[in-house]
Amino acid sequence: MKYSFCDGNLVLNEYDSFVISQTLECGQCFRFEKIGDEDYIVIAKNKVLHILKKGSSIVFENTTKEDFENIWLNYFDFKRDYNKIKELLSSEDETVKNAVKYAPGIRILNQDFFECLISFIISQNNRIPMIKKVVSNISQKYGNFICDFNNEGYYSFPSVEELSDATEEELMECKTGFRAKYIIDAVEKCMSGEISFEKLKDIPTDEARKELMTIKGVGPKVADCVMLFSMGRSDAFPTDVWVKRVMSYFYFGGNDTPIKTIHKSAYDKFGQYAGFAQQYLFNYAREFKIGASEKKTKKQVSSLC
């Protein structure tokens, strides 16, 4: 990877395995806005970043060299060799090979633990535009103003302390719905230190999952999302409805398969890279609605393979 700093912007001249839209829109984060084709605003780490493709380069606007090296390099996981992971997964599995071919520019972001936890609690039984709206509402109400961009004010996601003032009623006003009480429980457990990144970072994934699941509203899927997207646990395999569908479709003859069987199959096949395989498969399943409509899907997929 090669980058330079010119005209006040950071320019990524040489890079691989990175397409802005594929990385941001594959369902792992909720704080971004599309401005145009490969042109996005990202709100993370108390910063507002304008990231866009210009020719063959990727330009990071509204940032500094220091922030790029201290924040965005890690946030976008640029230190990891994705070609190696993709080659490994593709060599072992034909389905993942096709999924990787479809979206080779997905990278798994390293997001803030608390923001990720609350965001995925909100995600249950919800659609992406609504999740984005609720997270934005909470940030405006409890977070801090960062800056204006294109005549719009942007706010940071609140810290544990900042969100500890929130009442269930106030959170309901942010359109969290029945999840408000789950957020309160998560904030209480984070405030007391019962749950923290520091406490979870060095224990085995299975134990960390159990700990996270002591929070009300956190089940296996939400726990795995938090571990994969904010704790660097690439062996976590979040199994939502789409992953269940794609796994059932390709590996279990289209039969409805229990989550436990899917988990075991994923760990056997992909091991410590299960999380990366999940992200390629999830994106593939969602784009082609695999398993959602049997006849249509088979036609679409066969034309791809």
Partner DNA sequence: GCCCAGGCACTCA
Partner DNA sequence: TGAGTGCCTGGG
Q: Determine, following the binding rule CB under 7 A, whether residue 73 of this chain makes contact with DNA.
A: no
Q: Determine, following the binding rule CB under 7 A, whether residue 28 of this chain makes contact with DNA.
A: yes
- Of 286, 252, 287, 283, give the one whose Cα is nearest residue 266: 252
How many residues bind DNA (CB under 7 A)? The answer is 37
Among 6, 55, 125, 206, interactor with DNA by CB under 7 A:
125
CB of 123 to DNA, least distance (A): 6
Q: Where are the beta strands (DSSP E) in 115-260?
A: 145-149, 152-155
CB of 223 to DNA, least distance (A): 6
Structure-token pair, residue 235: 């062996």
Q: Determine, following the binding rule CB under 7 A, whether residue 126 of this chain makes contact with DNA.
A: yes
The answer to whether 10 touches 265, Cβ cutoff 8 Å, is no
* Residue 9 parent element (H or E): strand 9-14
Q: 59 or 103, CB closer to DNA? A: 103
CA 103 to CA 229: how far, in whole Å?
A: 18
Can you give the length of the chain in residues?
305
Rounded to the nearest 10 degrees, how much is the dihedral formed by the CA atoms of 86, 89, 255, 292?
0
The answer to whether 269 touches 277, Cβ cutoff 8 Å, is yes
- Of 76, 74, 78, 98, give the one whose Cα is nearest residue 86: 98
Q: Sign (positive/negative) of CA torsion 192, 71, 122, 260?
A: negative
Residues in 157-176 that interact with DNA by CB under 7 A: 172, 175-176
CA 101 to CA 276: how far, in whole Å?
A: 13
Stretch that binds DNA, among 2-10, 39-47, 152-160, 237-245 (CB under 7 A): 237-245
Q: 12 or 246, CB closer to DNA? A: 246
CB of 30 to DNA, least distance (A): 8
CB of 212 to DNA, least distance (A): 9
CA 189 to CA 195: how far, in whole Å?
A: 6
CB of 129 to DNA, least distance (A): 6
Among 80, 97, 216, 263, interactor with DNA by CB under 7 A:
216
* Residue 83 parent element (H or E): helix 82-92
Stretch that binds DNA, among 76-84, 138-146, 198-206, 221-229 (CB under 7 A): 221-229
Residues in 38-67 that interact with DNA by CB under 7 A: none
Degrees, nearest 5: CA angle 145-151-157: 25
Q: 128 or 147, CB closer to DNA? A: 128
CB of 106 to DNA, least distance (A): 12
- For residue 96, the one-letter residue type is V
Q: Determine, following the binding rule CB under 7 A, whether residue 286 of this chain makes contact with DNA.
A: yes
Among 87, 241, 271, 298, interactor with DNA by CB under 7 A:
241
Among 99, 218, 274, 277, interactor with DNA by CB under 7 A:
218
Q: What share of the chain is helix, strand, coil (3-state, %, to 5)?
A: 55, 15, 30
Other beta carbons within 10 angstroms of residue 220's beta carbon come to 18
Stretch that binds DNA, among 48-56, 59-67, 192-200, 236-244 (CB under 7 A): 236-244
CB of 284 to DNA, least distance (A): 13
Contact residues toward DNA (CB under 7 A) are 26-28, 120, 123-130, 172, 175-179, 182, 213, 215-223, 225, 238, 240-242, 258, 260, 286
